[in-house]
Structures are given as C-alpha cells and as structure tokens.
Amino acid sequence: MPTSTHPSLSAEALLALRERTRDQPADVVREAEALLPAARATGDRRTLASLLTALGAGLSETGNNDRAQLILDEALEHTDGDAESEAGVRAQRLSMFISLGESSTVDEDIERLTAILDGLKRPRETTAAMNALAGAAFRQGRLEDAGLWLERASRAALDSGDRRGATIAATNAVIVSIELERYAVALTQLRNALAHTDSSQVTVFVHAQHALLYSRLELHQQALDVIDSYLDGRPLNPPAESDKVMLINKAEALTSLNRLDEAADIIERHALHLEGGLRIAGEASDTLGRIYGLLGRTEEARALLTTGLELLERGGLTHAAARTLLNRAELELPHDPQFTLNCTRHTLERLETGAPGRLHARAFRLQAQAHAALGEYRLAYELGERHRHLQDDLDRRLERQRLDVALAELEYERAQVTARIQREALREARQEVAELHAHLEARVERRTQELHAANEELRAFAHSVSHYLRTPMQVILGHATLLDQVSGAQRTRSADAITGATERMAEVLDGLLAYAARGAVPQASGTVDLDAVVRAAWADQADPQRAVAVEIGPIPPVRGDAAALRVVFGNLLHNALKYTGEQAQPHVQVSASVVPDGVLVEVRDNGVGFDPADATRLFGAFTRLPTTTRFEGLGLGLADVWRIVIAHGGHVRAEGRPGEGASFFVTLPAAEEWRSEG
C-alpha cells in the first residue's frame, strides 16, 4: 500500500489537526478540505481515514452534523481493519452521540470500540477511546460504567505520559461527580484539572462544568459569572457546538434571575431552537418556551415546548424531556388542570428509576395545584404535604451541598494562600538565616558577657556571705575560749557577746532566707491599689518617736503582687527613714506619674545621699556604700527591691549626691482598667 509523503498528511500533522477541532473548528474544516484532494491522490487509505476523521470532527463542532455523519461513515470505510484508524473514527462518532444525544450507530460503535481497545498501540488513541466510551455510558445514564472507564483512561494516560488525555479524563470525571451530586468532589476535580493543564480546550470544559455545578446548586449568579468569563472573547458568529451549550446555559441562568428579555434574546439571536442537533434544538426550545410562558406568550410557548419535548424524546434525553413536560404542565395549569395532571403523571413515570429529586417535588406541587383547581381538595392536601416533605428534604440537602462546596472553595483558597505563604516564608527564612548568621557572634559575645556578670555576682555574693558570717563567728570563738579562763562579770560579758554575735548571724541568715525565698517571680498577679500599699508600708515603718515630714501623693493602680510590692516600698521607706536619721528636719516624699510603659513612682528623701558613681552598685546583695556604713543593715533590702520589680516586668534606678539625699524611681505595669480609661 502506498504511503503519504505530503508533509501536512503525516500522522503527527493529522493528529495535531484533530486536536485543534474544538478550539478552531472552522480552520480545521478549511484546512482538511484543502488537503482532501491530495489525500485521495496518495491512495493511502489510512491517511485518508485520519483526514476524514478530522474533517468530520470539525464539521460536528461547527454544527454541520449531517455532513459530519456522512464524512465519518466514509472514514470508517477507509480504515481497512487498522485498529487505530477505526478507533479514531468510532470515538468521534461517539462524541457526536454525546453532544447531540442521537446516533443510529451508537450501539455498534460501543461494541466495536470495546472489542479493539486492548489491541491499540498508540497511547493517545487508547485514552481517547476510553474517554469516548465513558461519555457514551454517561449519556446512556450508566454513571458507574462511565466512572470505571474514566479511571482506566486516567491510568492509561498517566502511564504513557499523555497529559492532555489525563486532563480530559479528569474533567469528564467532574461531570460524573456532578450527576452523582458529589459537588465538593467535583469542585476539587475542577480546580486540579485547571491547575494542571495548559490546553485551552480543557479550559473550556472546566468553565462549562463549573457553570453546571453552580446551576445544580441554584447559585445562578455565580453560574452566570462563570459562563460570561468563558464566552468573553469567543467568536460566536456562528457559535461552536460547545458555545451553543453555554449560550443555552446562560439563557437558563438569566431566566432563573428573572432577566427574561435578555434570556430570550440569546436564543433568538443565535437561532439555537432551530439547530439541526436534537439536544441543542430540544433544550433551546424548552428554555425559550418556558421564557415565553413567563412572558405571557402562551401560544408561542406551547408550540416551542411541544417541539422541544419531541426533539428530546427522539434524542433519548429522558431527564431533559421530563423537565420539558413539567414546563408544559405549568403552562397549562391555568387553562387545563387535567392536562397538567396528565403531564405530571407522565413525568413521574419517566423518573421512576431515579431517586426523588427536584423534578419529583415540582411534579407533586403541580399535581396539588391541579387537584385544587378541580375542587379535589383532599388529594390536593395529600400531594401538597408530599411535596412539602420532599422539598424540605431537598432544601436541607442543597444547603449541605452548598456548605460542602463553600468549604471546598475555602480549602482551595487556604491551600493557595498556604503555598504562597510557604514560598514567601522560605524566601524570608533564607534572608533571616543570613541575618542570624551575621549577628551570631555578637549574640554569643553578649551571652558570654551576661554569664560572666552572673558569675561575678555569684562570687561577690559568696564573698559577702562569708564576710558577714565570719566576723560574728570569730567573736563567738574568741569569747567561747575565754569562758573557762575568766570568772564572774567577765564571763557574763563574754556570754553576752556570744549571744549578740549569734543574733547577728541569725539576722544575716534570716535575711538570706527571705531574699532567696521571694525568688524572681511574683506569687500573684492582679490589679493592685498601689496608693493603699504604699501608705500601709509607711505605717509599718513609721517611728512615733521621730518627727518625719512625709508626703504621699495619689498613686495610680498597677498590675502585680500586692504583698511583694509592699516589701518593695517597705524597704525603700525603711531606708529613707534610716538615712535621714541625722537630719534635723527629715523629709520623705512619695509621688507618681503615668508614663508610656506604666506607672513611675519616686521615693525621695533628704538623707545622707550617695556618690552618683555608686548608683549601679546599690542593688547588689550585701552592698554597703561608704556613706551608709555607719548605719545598721545587711545590704539586702535594695537587692530585694531590684529582684521583685524586675519580676513584675518593671525597672528601678537611683539618683543621689552625698549630703543631698537620694531618689529611687520604680516603674511598674499599669492596671488594665487604668490603661483603658487613660
């Protein structure tokens, strides 16, 4: 058999031509017809069959279905038993059946395509055949079979690397999920199909199915938005077969939104109800008939619905025909209630095999209204109740389905946002790692300095403890040695010295225990009336034998531990009293103000003061400054103040000069209500 050498008639070129039929059907028809004489001249029957198949597909997409059928029949005659060629022709004839709902060869095509499937060698032909068989099963109402074929098609396409075939199988699976009312699953499948394809043909499928999903959920505005986004920029003069379906869907969405004139204009302008295909013409006639009925054009509506019903029944489109019957029943209800009853009974007979749905509920409602119009009120009530119960169930199911879809949409958006955040986070993390690396040595150095300071403080603390305990211990040992060497009054004096030293040691140990027991964390946290706490602390420290002028101004409430703060201000006021002991007119003043980071409390006295250079040493444990050594004390009070204030999230500092007194500034977090009022 001679083979083709014409470059445009190669197997690859003809396959590419066929794949363009949905996007550019008119161009495919023009190019195929131009190549047809050359293909016939080659004598290569398989090449001619492949070209005729592409031409038939293009004709079908442009609406020339009668000629498409003749061309495909001729293509089948030229396959000469070649499985791949035959599979391509029969898959295309099944595609016409799927689109139009009519074919005299559908059973033969299904049987033959199933028989030769395992013998196909080209992966694309295999996947296309399985997709066609799935579509035919779906059109015939065999949804489970359709699902099985699509699973096989998807596996075969993925195994062979046929991305386009896998995506088409995935989009076809969406239709099955929608028919099975698995809307959330369908939405996920749609998103995945759209995300993993660069094919404009598949994008068309996704838009159509997305609109169908919203229509089933009675979200008509969303459906209209999807349809408009698909039709925008499409060449609609004349519209391709897929465009015609979308135009009818748009008219139905507009009808549901009560935009009747716009809906009628779409069908009339494109003459969709006058198409040759049974499905397109039937559904367009049904939709336009319903619109005319709502517009009060009863006679025109009746004629269109009659025509639509006839076309849909011829095409075997049972569900669509049942909807048309109900449209006719509703049209005739005011004129002939008995006719309405007959129509609804026929509808329910057609729907016997399906689960009760919205068509059933609508039929029960129309029957109830018809019986009421005929004066048969008992039957009207019974059917009305039946309609109400079914409608309630359907509405609840619809709400659940809408919720499932909304959750699926949110999950998709969450996944998209998460992916974007992860990308941004990865970029930011890399930048942060670089910055952390740059600052690592400085951070290590700072931590090392902090550790060194802590060790120094620990050594100073140990030295101070040793110093304060060693002196009374030496007194005790010295006088204990003298006890057996002296007598009388001297022994009594030694015993008194031992007792005093022991008491001094006990005082030191009690101070250490109190200092350690309070720790660094307040025991309670809440609103503290600091004004009352300070006044109570002053009452604890005041000496009735001394005349000290004291001023305590109003102090805002703070957040913290009242008992611990009483210790803080008790220590500060105790020091103020102690270090003003040599003043003829001692004076202590406590004032407060609100600052951005809380409440600032100042405790000021006119005592002995201290060298400003020693301000940072004041808060160390056992610290005694030169100006204060002649006064009694362990040097733990201010250490206690520092630890408690820091544990409250505040800070403390001191100012002073020798002979001019001292001021201690304590900043504490303000109470919540005070901050709200402020």
- 3-state class (DSSP) for residue 410: helix
User: What was the pLDDT predicted at 441?
Assistant: 75
Q: Specify the higher pLDDT residue, 434 or 302.
A: 302
pLDDT tens digits for 360-374?
999 999 999 999 999
Fold held by 233-332: 1.25.40
pLDDT interval class at 46 (50, 70, 90): confident
* The pair of three-digit structure tokens given for residue 100, joined into one six-digit string: 């139009």
Q: From CA 457, how far away is CA 469, in angstroms rounded?
A: 18
- 3-state class (DSSP) for residue 649: coil
Least-confidence region, from 53-57, 215-219, 618-622, 649-653 = 618-622
What is the average per-residue pLDDT within 594-616? 86
**Burial degree of 8 (CB within 10 A; 0-12, 13-18, 19+):** middle
Number of Cβ within a 10 Å radius of residue 361:
20
Q: From CA 57, how far away is CA 128, in angstroms rounded?
A: 13
pLDDT interval class at 2 (50, 70, 90): very low
pLDDT interval class at 501 (50, 70, 90): low
**Do 327 and 289 meet the contact criterion of CB atoms below 8 Å apart?**
yes
User: What was the pLDDT predicted at 508?
Assistant: 53
- How much of the chain is helix, strand and coil, in % rounded to 5? 70, 5, 25
Tell me the backbone φ, ψ of residue 552, rounded to 5 degrees. Answer: -120, 105
| Residue 26, C-beta contacts closer than 8 angstroms, at least 6 positions apart | 58, 62
Q: From CA 172, how far away is CA 190, in angstroms rounded?
A: 10
Which CATH code is given to the segment(s) 122-217? 1.25.40
Top mean-pLDDT range of 100-109, 547-556, 624-633: 547-556
pLDDT tens digits for 238-295?
887 778 888 999 999 999 999 999 999 999 999 999 876 678 889 999 999 999 999 9
Least-confidence region, from 124-138, 521-535, 647-661 = 521-535
Tell me the torsion sign for CA atoms 531, 534, 537, 538. negative
Q: How far is CA 69 from CA 59, 98, 212, in A?
A: 9, 14, 28
> Average pLDDT of the chain?
81
Which CATH code is given to the segment(s) 434-518? 1.10.287.130
Largest CA distance in the chain: 149
Residue intervals in the chain for CATH 3.30.565.10: 526-677
User: What was the pLDDT predicted at 153?
Assistant: 86
* pLDDT exceeds cutoff 50 at 520: no
User: What was the pLDDT predicted at 316?
Assistant: 67
What is the average per-residue pLDDT within 81-100? 82
Q: For a pLDDT cut of 90, what percent of the chain falls above it?
A: 22
User: What was the pLDDT predicted at 645?
Assistant: 87
What is the average per-residue pLDDT within 326-349? 93
Containing 603, the helix (H) or strand (E) segment is strand 598-605
Residue intervals in the chain for CATH 1.25.40.10: 233-332
User: What was the pLDDT predicted at 6?
Assistant: 47
pLDDT tens digits for 288-334?
999 999 999 999 999 999 999 998 887 667 778 889 999 999 999 99
Taking the model in full, what pTM does it have? 0.51
User: What was the pLDDT predicted at 343?
Assistant: 92
**Do 273 and 236 meet the contact criterion of CB atoms below 8 Å apart?**
no
Measuring CA to CA, which residue among 47, 133, 43, 119 is closest to residue 83? 119
DSSP letter string over 521-550? Answer: S-S--EEE-HHHHHHHHHHHH--TTS--EE
What is the average per-residue pLDDT within 103-126? 84
DSSP letter string over 163-190? Answer: HHHHHHHHHHHHHHHHHTT-HHHHHHHH
User: What was the pLDDT predicted at 437?
Assistant: 74
Q: From CA 639, how far away is CA 254, in angstroms rounded?
A: 81
Least-confidence region, from 20-24, 325-329, 451-455 = 451-455
User: What was the pLDDT predicted at 4?
Assistant: 44
* The pair of three-digit structure tokens given for residue 560, joined into one six-digit string: 């913290």
* pLDDT exceeds cutoff 80 at 420: yes
Pairing of strands 558-560, 526-528: antiparallel
> Which one is the CATH code of 526-677: 3.40.50.300, 3.30.565.10, 1.20.120.160, 3.10.180.10?
3.30.565.10
- Residue 592's beta-bridge partner residues? 601
User: What was the pLDDT predicted at 198?
Assistant: 57
What is the average per-residue pLDDT within 145-165? 83
User: What was the pLDDT predicted at 164?
Assistant: 74
Residue intervals in the chain for CATH 1.10.287.130: 434-518
**Do 469 and 626 meet the contact criterion of CB atoms below 8 Å apart?**
no
Q: From CA 430, how far away is CA 211, in angstroms rounded?
A: 43
Top mean-pLDDT range of 133-142, 211-220, 326-335, 513-522: 326-335
User: What was the pLDDT predicted at 656?
Assistant: 87
Say which DSSP state 669 is in.
P
pLDDT interval class at 622 (50, 70, 90): low
User: What was the pLDDT predicted at 361?
Assistant: 92
* pLDDT exceeds cutoff 90 at 73: no
User: What was the pLDDT predicted at 267?
Assistant: 93
User: What was the pLDDT predicted at 543?
Assistant: 72
